[in-house]
Amino acid sequence: MTTTATTLKGQPLDKAAVDSLLRRRLFYTPSFEIYGGVSGLYDYGPPGCALQANIIDLWRKHFILEEDMLEVDCTVLTPHEVLKTSGHVDKFADWMCKDPKNGEILRADHFVEDILESRLRGDKEARGQKVEEKEEDPKKKKKKSKGHEAIKLDDAVAKEYEEVLARIDNYNGEQLGELIKKYDLRNPATGEQPTPPVAFNLMFQTSIGPSSNTPGYLRPETAQGQFLNFAKLLEFNTGQMPFASASIGKSYRNEISPRAGLLRVREFLMAEIEHFVDPEGHKKHHRFHEVEDMELVLLDRDTQLSGKTTTQTISIGQAVKDGLVDNETLGYFLARIHLFLKKIGIDQSKVRFRQHMANEMAHYATDCWDAELLTSGGWVECVGCADRSAFDLSVHAKKTGAPLIVRQRLDEPKVIEEWEVEIEKKKFGPFYKKDGKTIEAAILATTQEERGKLGKELEENGKVFINVPGVGDGKVEVSKDLLAVKWQKRVENIREYTPNVIEPSFGIGRILYSLMEHNFWTRASDGGDEARGVLSFPPAVAPTKVLIVPLSSHKDFAPAVRKLSQKLRSAGLSSRVDDSSASIGKRYSRNDELGTPFGVTVDFQTVKDATITLRERDSTRQVRAEEDKIIEAIRALVEGTKTWQDIESELPLFEGQQEAEVTVR
C-alpha cells in the first residue's frame, strides 16, 4: 500500500533522488541497458557488490555460525519431476490478466491495488488533504493517461476500498476478477477492463541435455536441494536432531510485471534455512528463553481479515503463549530475524511481522509470517518464516521410496498394541488382477478404529466391504481368506518419524534496497549548493570502510598514503584513495554518497610526526592521533566494540580540517 516514506532523519523521501544516486554511483544498473534493457533484471556495481557481500557475511555469522547450521550449495537446474512432486509445477503461480485493447499483461492483485489506491489518493485530494504521489515506472509514463482525478468518494466506499486493500493478499483469481467487475476497474492507458484473471506459473522452464528429453526449471527457491539431501545431512550430523541446513544462492521467478526496481526482479539472491525438528516435542526450541522477552510488531491474520492493518507490539514469548505464533521454534526465528535486520542497519520503526492469510499461504505451509519493511513502495515482504510441517520430506519420500526419516533409539522399549492387517498376497494379486495394488493401498490406509470394525465384520460375516474410489462402484468385497485383521502386541526399540521444518527465507536484494532507503538522508550545504545525499550504513556493512584523502597531490604525501593503505588492507579494512584535485570537502561528500563511514586525511603534519586525522561520516567530527591508534580505532568501530563517542573520549579532537571542510563545501 502506498505510504509517505521518510529518510533516516525523518525528511520526506524523494525516491527519484535516491534511485538517481544509487544508479549514478553504480550500486546497481539495469542489465543490458545499451540494448534497451530487460525488465526485472539488474546488475550490481562495485559498491552494490560490496554491500551485498557484507550483508551475506553478517548473515552467515548471525545464523550459520551462531546456530551451528550445515551449509550446502545446490544446483540451480532442477528436473521437472522434483518440482512436480513438491507442488511447484501445479501451484507456484500468480494471477494474470490482459488488456484486450493493447495486449498489456497485468498482475491482477497489483492492478486492483493500484487503481483503488489511486482513487483513494483522489479522494484525499478532493478533501484538501496532502497527497504523496506514487512513483511510476518511467518506461510506462508515455502509456499513461492523466493521473488520479480529485474525486470525493462516499465515506462508506472509501472505507470499503481500504478494507479490500488490507485483505488484498488473501484474494484468489476468481475473487480478484469479481473486484475488477464490481468496482469497474480499467487500465488507465486504454480505459479498458482487463480479461478475467488466470493462473500463470512463475518458473522459468528449460531442458537439460542436448536431446531435450529431460525437462527442467531454474529453481524458484533453494529449499528443494536441502530437502533432497536431508538423509545425508542427518548422517553428517551423526543422526542428531534437531539440526538446520542453510543455503545461499540465486533463484529465478518469471514475474508477470516486474516493477519497483530491486524490489521485484526475476533473478535474485536468496538465503534460506531449513530447521528440522521433532514434531512430538511441540516444536520447542532450547534457546527460546534467550529471546522470549523481545518485543515485535505483529499484524495477525484476523486483523487483516477484518479489513484493518492495525499492529500490536507484543513480546514473542507472550505471542507464542497466546497461540498467536504457532510454536517456539517459529517464534525463536522471528526474533532472530528481527535481531539480524537491526544489526545490518534496518530502521526499527519501519519493521513489522505480518501473518499470512489462508488464500495467500504457500501450498506447503501451515503457518507463515513475513518480515515486512516500509519503503517508498509501501510495506515490502523481505523475509518469510514458514512452518512447512512435514510436507516436503513426505512427498519426496513417497515419490522416490527414499527413507527421508529419523530413526531414534528409545531409552525404554515401547510396547504397542494395535490392529494389524495381514494380506494373503499370493491369492490377493491374482484375484483382483490390475486393481490389486489400489485395493491394497486402501486397506493399508485405514485407521485403527476402521480396522477394529473390519476385524469384527470378518469374524461375524467372513467378508468385508472396503471403500475404494475408482474401482467398480467404489466398494470392494474382500473375504477372510484374502485378509486378516488381528489385535497384535509388539515391542519397539526404534522410533521412526518424519521431521517438521521451520523455514526462514531471506530475499537479499529486497533487504539490500530497503537498507539503502532506510539509511539515506540529505545534508544541507553551507555554500548554498544543492543538498548532498548521505548513506549512513553501519560500518560493518558499508561497502568501503575508509576514504584516504591526501591534502593535495604533493609528492611528499605519496609514501604515507601507500603505507597507510597497506596497513588498512593488512587489518582487513577496505579503503579507497581519492587524490583528485577536488576540495577535501567535495571528496568527502562524494564518499558520503557511497556510505563510507570514515575518512583519513594525510597532510603536512603527517609527514612530520606520522599523525593523521579520522573523520566520522554522520557528524563530520574529527580526531587526530598516531597512525596505529587511528587504525585500531577504525577496526573497533567496524567490529562494533566501540562507538564514535568512545573514540572521541579516547583520542584528541581535531578542529582545523573540519573548519576547512565547511568552507569548501
Q: Catalogue all structural domains in the chain, each as residue range(s) with its CATH number.
A: 15-84+205-391+502-508 (3.30.930.10), 93-201 (3.30.40.230), 406-497 (no CATH), 544-654 (3.40.50.800)
What does the pLDDT look like over 141-170, one tens digit per residue?
Answer: 444 444 467 888 898 998 999 999 989 888
Q: What is the rounded CA–CA span in Å between residue 135 and residue 15?
A: 7
Each residue of 302-319: pLDDT tens digit? 999 999 999 999 999 999
- Tell me what the mean pLDDT of segment 279-292 comes to: 94
Q: Helices 508-518 and 328-344 sit at what angle, rounded to 10 degrees?
A: 50
> Where does 345-473 have alpha helices with state H?
391-400, 425-432, 436-444, 448-461
Element (H, E) at 611: strand 611-616
Helix, strand, coil percentages for the chain (3-state, nearest 5): 40, 25, 35
- Cβ–Cβ < 8 Å for 444, 408: no
Of 45-59, 101-115, 325-339, the range with the lowest mean pLDDT is: 101-115
> Average pLDDT in the 399-404 region?
92
15-24 and 508-518 helices cross at what angle (nearest 10)?
110
Residue 361: the pLDDT is 78
Q: What is the pLDDT of residue 360?
A: 80
Mean pLDDT for all residues in the chain: 90
* Residues 255, 474 contacting (CB under 8 angstroms): no
The count of other CB atoms within 10 Å of the CB of residue 512 is 23
In the chain, the percentage of residues whose pLDDT exceeds 70 is: 94
- Separation between Cα atoms, residue 15 and residue 20, nearest integer Å: 8
- CA-derived radius of gyration, the chain: 31
Which CA distances in Å does 239 have to 135, 176, 279, 281?
A: 53, 48, 16, 17
**Do the beta carbons of residue 458 and residue 483 sit within 8 Å?**
yes
Rounded average pLDDT over 559-586: 93
**Which residues are CB-contacts of 257 (< 8 A; sequence separation ≥ 6)?**
39, 105, 106, 107, 110
In tens, the pLDDT along 417-428 reads 899 999 998 899
d(CA 97, CA 364): 26
Nearest to 140 by CA among 186, 96, 106: 106
Residue 93: which residues within 8 A CB-CB, separation 6 or more? 199, 200, 201, 202
